[in-house]
Chains A and B, each alone.
Chain A
Amino acid sequence: MNKSDKINSSSSESRESMEQAAMQDEQVQDVHAQLMREKEEPKEGFSPVPIFLMFFFAALCFWGGVYLVEHSGGYRWDAYSPDFDPMADAPKPVEISLFDRGAKIYRNQCAQCHQANGNGVAGVYPPLVASSWVTGHPEVVARILINGLNGPLIVKGKSYNGNMPAFGPGGLGLKEKDIAGVITYIRQEWGNAAPDMTEQMIADYSSQYNSRAAPWLALELKEDLGPIPEVVPLEESVVGAEETAEL
């Protein structure tokens, strides 16, 4: 097939336009050679997107979201610092008092045995109301909560022989804040009026007794007690001070 045949075989329309250009034969051949040399118009293959790219892009988008949340200044028009914290001015969440925290813990952890009214069950679970074990030296009640209590015990003239579980890290593992809360609660509810058990006090007692494995016996409880820490009086808890001294 020679070159001029090729030209004849192309559409009449295009031949026309070439003639319009008033080219010489040789020029036509030139153009033809150049055109036929050209590769096909581009096409696309359909290879899939590499999967690691999709993971990488997902990670980028995740980063973008986190960055925007961290540095968006709450989308306020008047926030200019990238570290502006839109929550800084917001009212702090109300810290619930030790007493309220303790009330909650008591309902969940203690009320099954000692009852919601703190009276216990006669002969089985000792009462907490007006019990000197509860309202007396804070270290006593802290010891009981942290390590538990075993064996015979006399409360308000009645004898008990039960098994109080430990709530410290060796037992049920309540947070120190919760232990402080629940002790504060039982020392101030139902007419009891002993001072707060602060978190700091529990932290001190914990550091002493956390390592102890055995539960306390009633006899040991009042031995080697430390001095009563001075509690900054909160609210009306001062009233209980006399009773504490009695012990």
Chain B
Amino acid sequence: MPNSYNSSPYSSRSESVRAELSEIDTSIRSAAIFFVISAIGWLMLGTVFALLAAVKSHSPDFAGAFEFLTFGRVRSAHLNAMALGWASNIIFAVGLWIMARLCRAPIQHKGILLIAGIFWNIGLTIGVFGILSGDMTSVEWLEIPRYATPLLAFSYALIGVWGVIAFRFRKGDHVYVSQWYILAALFWFPWLYVVAQVMIIWFPARGVVQSVTNWWFAHNVLGLWFTPMALATAYYLIPKVLGRPIYSYYLSVLGFWSLAIFYNWAGIHHLIGGPIPVWLISAGIVASVMMVIPVIVVGINHHMSIVGMHKQVWRSPTLRFVVFGAISYTLVSIIGSSMALRTVNEITHFTHFTVGHAHHGVYAFFTMIMFGGVYYMMPRLLKCEWPSAGLIKVHFWGCAIGITIMVVALQVGGWIQGMEMKNAEIPFLQVVQNTIPWLKARSVSGLFLTVGHCAFALNFFWMLLAAGTLRAKEGPTLFANKSKEISVG
């Protein structure tokens, strides 16, 4: 065994803590593996919907003969499969695992967690079928028909509560930054979801209050559910893999509270120019710009924690994904803040620029970090190693290249589209036709992403089904030759 653990500076200490971690891993194992399997299932399904929608947007006749595959349904099915299927399942897996580990509190009734997870996915399956069969609501981000949503809300409560319980029975004095984010997000998401469901679907509020609630919800799903979970994962994995503390507690505090204060207001910038009292929109714009504060703070905190260790970052599958995501967080947020300004929004609103921005955030930032989280978590849960570094490489490059093409194509194309729409000389149909090359580029990017996802799924199920044959003592699966340096997971 080349990388003898005896040489590790940590191997002599805290063995009981490590044994405790192993117990925690065991306690959440079945549920977490179930969530990851579901997440990957939804990811693959969502990818199919995404490809269909992408191709249909430049070739509308493609698969045009099937009513359930019309663009409107496929697009919404894609959104919900990804947001509630892939993203939320992977949050349940990685987020709860990190929470349990940091609280040093094993999950007590893992059976309930597992059953709640099964119901969540049943609810979502009913919902996506509902969308495809034409029962979807007309509200973006809340398309799932009302016969499925109560089940989702109920099973969420049974899932999220385990994070809260772990926190309640935590050991140790210090509460780490990842725990703040996860605990807060576990409360934020049900608050958003229930308020939005009640005010829009069940007891509709009057008039524009509905659209205000709608965009408050839709943007906050990104900002108060995906973002804090991804940040918590990055905050956990960067010091964990590098064996180095996070740069500054004070920056962590500032970053957390400025996110908590400002993000909640930001969604209203989607309604710039709409018939909403203008102070509400202006407040949304100011809050969107204020989001620069948490973004810069988190960016500096992560950067300073990594600086000087780029080689280790590049070698570790986990950190390669996490750092890609963390850099994307800075970029996408700065772009997002500027998009909220009225002068910029006049151009980007109602164009593909916004679509590119959404994927920049949910994919290049959130999803990439969560991939990193899975790469770190699974060997601990299965007590074996990833079978193929080559497949991880294909996964990384497929996703990195794919999402870069998509974001660049949609944002450049969207900007041109926005400028042309402001120009009364150009007929509208001409503007639409000019977007086609960019939309084709998006379909190409989708192929790259599909390759990446297939490599990921293949590697994952290989590992799952062959668990036990790949020995952990042979060392972690890394990208480069691992013989010389101290290993990083």
Contact = CB atoms under 8 A, between A and B. Distances in A.
B383 A30 contact: yes
Interface string B279-306: 1011101100110110011001000100
Chain A interface size band reads 35 or more
Given A14-B20, A27-B383, A48-B248, A38 B489 contact: yes
Contact of A43 (B3, B19, B245, B275): B245
B308 interface: no
B246 A37 contact: no
A33 B15 CA distance: 12
A64 B286 contact: yes
A63 B17 CA distance: 48
A10 B12 CA distance: 11
Given A60-B292, A79-B279, A41 B240 contact: yes
Interface stretch (B323-331, B422-430, B468-476): B468-476
Interface in A1-47: 1, 6, 9-11, 13-15, 17-18, 21, 27, 29-31, 33-47
Q: Is chain B's binding surface mostly helix, strand, loop or mixed?
A: helix
B248 A34 contact: no
B239 A35 contact: no
Nearest to B3: A37
A79 B276 CA distance: 8
Contacts of B281: 82
Contact of A60 (B20, B26, B248, B293): B293
Given A14-B20, A17-B26, A68-B282, A42 B473 contact: no
A236 B254 CA distance: 69
A84 interface: yes
A34 B279 contact: no
Contacts of B375: none
Nearest to B177: A44
A47 B301 CA distance: 10
B18 interface: yes
A28 to B, nearest CB: 10
A82 B342 contact: yes
B248 A33 contact: no
B458 to A, nearest CB: 23
Contacts of A71: 278-279, 282, 285
Interface stretch (A49-57, A115-123, A128-136, A152-160): A49-57
A97 interface: no
Contacts of A13: 19, 23
Contacts of B243: 39-40
Nearest to A61: B290
Contact of B5 (A9, A36, A61, A77): A36
Contacts of B235: 42
A92 interface: no
Contacts of A17: 22-23, 26
A38 B240 contact: yes
Contacts of A76: 277, 279
A220 interface: no
Contacts of A48: 248, 250
Contact of A42 (B246, B300, B475, B476): B246
Contact of A45 (B6, B101, B242, B247): B247
A79 B15 contact: no
Given A72-B279, A82-B282, A42 B5 contact: no
A130 B397 CA distance: 98
A29 to B, nearest CB: 6
Contact of A34 (B178, B342, B473): B473
A39 B10 contact: yes
Given A17-B23, A49-B251, A30 B16 contact: no
Nearest to A43: B245
A30 B276 contact: no
B133 interface: no
Contacts of B282: 67-68, 71-73, 82
Given A10-B15, A45-B249, A61-B290, A80 B278 contact: yes
A246 to B, nearest CB: 63
Contacts of B238: 42
A118 B6 CA distance: 105
B245 to A, nearest CB: 4
B293 A11 contact: no
Contacts of B17: 41
Contacts of A61: 290
B8 interface: yes
A223 interface: no
Contacts of B11: 36
A214 to B, nearest CB: 56
Contact of A67 (B6, B277, B285, B489): B285
B8 A37 contact: yes
B246 A43 contact: yes
B41 interface: no
B379 interface: yes
B248 A41 contact: no
B240 A30 contact: no
A78 interface: yes
Interface centre among A45, A68, A76 (most CB of B within 10 A): A45
A42 B20 contact: no
Given A36-B5, A73-B278, A78-B277, A45 B246 contact: yes
Nearest to A64: B286
A78 B178 CA distance: 43
Contacts of B241: 39
A207 interface: no
B278 A29 contact: no
B250 A35 contact: no
Nearest to B471: A30
Interface in A75-108: 75-82, 84
Given A30-B471, A78-B277, A6 B15 contact: yes
B68 interface: no
A33 B476 CA distance: 10
A27 B469 CA distance: 10
Given A1-B6, A37-B489, A45-B246, 19 more contacts: A14-B20, A17-B23, A30-B473, A33-B472, A35-B19, A35-B22, A36-B10, A42-B178, A42-B238, A44-B176, A44-B246, A45-B249, A49-B248, A60-B289, A64-B286, A72-B278, A73-B277, A75-B277, A82-B342
8 contacts: A10-B18, A14-B16, A37-B475, A44-B248, A76-B277, A77-B277, A79-B277, A80-B278
Interface of A: 1, 6, 9-11, 13-15, 17-18, 21, 27, 29-31, 33-50, 53, 56-57, 60-61, 63-64, 67-68, 71-82, 84
